[in-house]
């Protein structure tokens, strides 16, 4: 299904705001929340995402079912809540919506967050033995 011109414009705005929020969420939490300017940028980015999402058609929202649209619609009360929303919503928005604009010139510059990799369980016991070099005889 092709993306309508209206939805394309709205998706571009939403992804632009989501990239800002995503980049801020990549920094350590304490670093962002201790800086009033960063907190404002984070909250403004989430507000921009919220406003852009209001312009999306319900069909487009249905195509990106993994995005928590109802959570995005509610403004964050505290900077900590804004941080948690940014960590949850921005990567999902980028992963779900960027592929819908493949082939568009702007899509070449979009961030593409990796799916969260689960950490491997810690190994217990001894490390595997090293294989030594074969001795060379003369």
Q: Per the confidence metrics, is the pTM higher than 0.85?
A: no
Question: Is 81 or 127 the better-scoring residue by pLDDT?
Answer: 81
Q: What is the pLDDT of residue 105?
A: 77
Q: What is the pLDDT of residue 102?
A: 82
- Give the pLDDT confidence of 50-92 residue by residue, as tens digits: 999 999 988 888 888 899 999 999 999 999 999 999 999 999 9
Statement: residue 130 has pLDDT above 80: no
The domain ranges of the chain are 5-105
Q: What is the pLDDT of residue 135?
A: 55
Neighbours of 138 (CB within 10 A): 2
Percent of the chain at pLDDT above 70?
A: 80
- The pLDDT-based confidence of 113 (bands split at 50, 70, 90) is confident
Residue entry with tokens 């950490």? 119
What DSSP string describes the chain?
-PPPHHHHHHHHHHHHHHHHHHHHHTS-HHHHHT-HHHHHHHHHHHHHHHHHHHTS-HHHHHHTTTS-HHHHHSPPSSHHHHHHHHHHHHHHHHHHHGGGGTTSGGGGG---PPPPPPPPPPP-SPPPPPPPPPPPP-
Cα separation, 67 vs 15, whole angstroms: 13
């Amino acid at each position: 299904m092709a993306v309508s011109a209206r939805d394309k414009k709205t998706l571009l705005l939403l992804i632009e705001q989501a990239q800002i929020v995503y980049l801020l969420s990549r920094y350590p939490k304490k670093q962002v929340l201790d800086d009033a300017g960063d907190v404002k940028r984070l909250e403004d980015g989430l507000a921009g995402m919220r406003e852009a999402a209001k312009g999306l058609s319900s069909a487009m929202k249905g195509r990106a079912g993994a995005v928590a649209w109802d959570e995005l619609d509610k403004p964050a009360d505290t900077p900590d809540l804004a941080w948690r929303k940014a960590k949850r919503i921005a990567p999902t928005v980028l992963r779900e919506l960027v592929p819908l604009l493949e082939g568009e010139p702007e899509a070449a510059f979009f961030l593409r967050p990796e799916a969260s990799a689960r950490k491997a369980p810690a190994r217990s016991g001894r490390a595997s033995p090293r294989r030594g070099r074969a001795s060379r005889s003369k």
